[in-house]
Structure 1
Amino acid sequence: MTALLTDPWFYAAAVPAVILVGLSKGGLGGAFGFAGVPLMALAMSPVQAAAILLPILILMDLVSLWSWRGVFDRDLLRSMMPGALVGIGAGWLTASLVTADMVRLIVGAVAFVFVLRWIYQQLRHGGGHAASRNPVLAAFWGTVAGFTSFVAHVGGPPFQVYALPLRLDPKVLTGTAVIFFAITNAIKLVPYFALGQFDATNLAASAALMPIAPLATLAGAWLVRRMRPEVFYPFTYATVALIAVKLLWDGAAQLF
């Protein structure tokens, strides 16, 4: 325990990671959160990084729930949340078979195609029309989001693949995502405990980083509340594109 908490490289990697995840949790470009585990993995294994980050995510979720209280889309949650529970269960059952690098590669590919599709629509149609709601697609992407969130804390891109084209008010979209991932992360605690991810070292590291979490989350919420939709959506798609490239690179480098 002492070795990790006194290692300067741990703080050099973990502090920026927590800040980026906090900004994401506050609503500032959901894709920022995907940098958390890869950044922390510079100083430790990805599995340990994910375990340390989960309690911090729970704290950020509590701050985000307070920041965005009363602002959400009930129907979107109803259509995606059951699938997320199925995805978490699938992640638990296949935890020994599916690696975080495999998930990064798959999620990166999906997110990259998603952004290319959006760019095509912008060029051809101007991108002003909201997509129609589809319960089947909502359940599917909710399941994918739950699975990838469990394995590598990268549930954001699958959630956004379905939610972003609906073109909700940025505040409503952010508030809905906050509730979706707060529930998802709380449920993930059970299988993470069962898989032995929360030892004394990891919990102590989580505690050391927690003071940063509320400040970064509140900062993200403050910025999003001041963003116009015509700024918010291009910014969010751009951050999804950047992290898609990062996920593809990291996943391919480890698997190939």
Structure 2
Amino acid sequence: MDLGIIAIGAAAAIFAGVSKGGFGSGAAFASASVLALVLPPAQALGIMLPLLMVIDAATLRPYWRRWSWPEARLLLWGGIPGTALGAVLYTIADADLFRLLIGVISLAFVGWHTGTRSGLFKPRQTPLPAWAGLLAGTVAGFTSFVSHAGGPAAAIYLLSQRIDKTRFQATSVLLFALLNVVKFVPYAWLGIFSADTLKFDLVLAPFALLGAWLGVKSHRLVPERTFFAITYVALTLTGLKLIWDALT
């Protein structure tokens, strides 16, 4: 409960709320990456999950029934076994492996978005098939469990379906609201939550709600390019630092 860590946690909670509330949740996991710089990875993950669930509860209503259920269902059916795979890895991995995973996923996220924006990766012209949705869901479930970073895998599939921005956002909100509920049980069983993390969540919950409100409001107002430009820089520096800490 150090004031410096509270300040970092408050900024992380607001950032997660803005991302999940207005920009498809893709960059929300940057909050867990930042917390992992000052806290053990398990604590960072345990602190962020209840906050993400608070944000889910706040953002479901504005996007209620504006999602595309067929895509959400496919991703969810893949996400459940992906979550189970993440839980198995957690039981055999140490903290440095999770720092390494979070760091690598952070850099991969930046690389994927930079590549799509620059035209290096060409968007698929036809929708991906159903099996690809299941595979994307499995990857999303796994990366969501180990680093709250399921957004990019889900986004690749959803973007191929050529749905509009709000339907994309609503589907992402629904999917990760459900996956976060699924994750809560193994997180609790594995001892990722503690009295300290839950106390910290009570302190940070108002900041998470503020971020969610700002995200919904900025869905139409803030340019996505500006938001992700800041995210790219933060994630690159954070990812490099986590990888360095894991390897040294």
User: How much has 1:107 moved relative to structure 2?
Assistant: 2.3
TM-score norm. by structure 1 comes to 0.84
- 63 and 197 in structure 1: CA distance in 2 versus 1, 3 angstrom threshold: same
Aligned CA-pair RMSD: 2.6
- 166 and 237 in structure 1: CA distance in 2 versus 1, 3 angstrom threshold: farther
Displaced runs of 4+ in structure 1, greater than 4 A?
A: 234-244
Aligned letter for 2:36? A
- 166 and 243 in structure 1: CA distance in 2 versus 1, 3 angstrom threshold: farther
Aligned residues: 244
User: How much has 1:31 moved relative to structure 2?
Assistant: 3.7
Kindly indicate whether the alpha-carbon contact (under 8 Å) linking 1:67 and 1:221 is maintained by their aligned counterparts in 2: yes
Paired position in structure 2 for 1:216: 211
Give the counterpart of 1:68 among 43, 63, 67. 63
Tell me, yes or no, if structure 1 residue 15 matches structure 2 residue 7. Answer: no
Kindly indicate whether the alpha-carbon contact (under 8 Å) linking 1:60 and 1:217 is maintained by their aligned counterparts in 2: yes
Tell me, yes or no, if structure 1 residue 132 matches structure 2 residue 127. Answer: yes
Map residues 130-169 of structure 1 onto 2, 5 A cutoff. Answer: 130-169=125-164
Kindly indicate whether the alpha-carbon contact (under 8 Å) linking 2:109 and 2:152 is maintained by their aligned counterparts in 1: yes
Tell me, in whole angstroms, the C-alpha distance in 2 between the residues paired with 1:246 and 1:148.
Answer: 20
- 238 and 169 in structure 1: CA distance in 2 versus 1, 3 angstrom threshold: farther
Paired position in structure 2 for 1:253: 244
Paired position in structure 2 for 1:87: 82
Map residues 165-244 of structure 1 onto 2, 5 A cutoff. Answer: 165-226=160-221, 232=224, 234=225, 238=229, 241-242=232-233
| Percent identical | 27
Tell me, in whole angstroms, the C-alpha distance in 1 between the residues paired with 2:183 and 2:14.
Answer: 22
Give the counterpart of 1:121 among 119, 122, 132. 119
Tell me, in whole angstroms, the C-alpha distance in 1 between the residues paired with 2:51 and 2:112.
Answer: 29
Q: Deviations over 1:124-175 (max 9, x none)?
A: 98x7x75413212211111111111111111112222222343421111100
Tell me, in whole angstroms, the C-alpha distance in 2 between the residues paired with 1:131 and 1:238.
Answer: 28
Kindly indicate whether the alpha-carbon contact (under 8 Å) linking 1:20 and 1:33 is maintained by their aligned counterparts in 2: yes
Structure 1: gaps (5+ residues): none
Structure 2: gaps (5+ residues): none
Tell me, yes or no, if structure 1 residue 44 matches structure 2 residue 39. Answer: yes
Kindly indicate whether the alpha-carbon contact (under 8 Å) linking 2:33 and 2:102 is maintained by their aligned counterparts in 1: no
Q: Which moved more, 1:53-62 or 1:94-103?
A: 94-103
Q: Which moved more, 1:236-245 or 1:179-188?
A: 236-245
Tell me, in whole angstroms, the C-alpha distance in 1 between the residues paired with 2:136 and 2:228.
Answer: 17
Kindly indicate whether the alpha-carbon contact (under 8 Å) linking 1:87 and 1:142 is maintained by their aligned counterparts in 2: yes
Tell me, in whole angstroms, the C-alpha distance in 1 between the residues paired with 2:129 and 2:230.
Answer: 25
Tell me, in whole angstroms, the C-alpha distance in 2 between the residues paired with 1:187 and 1:19.
Answer: 23
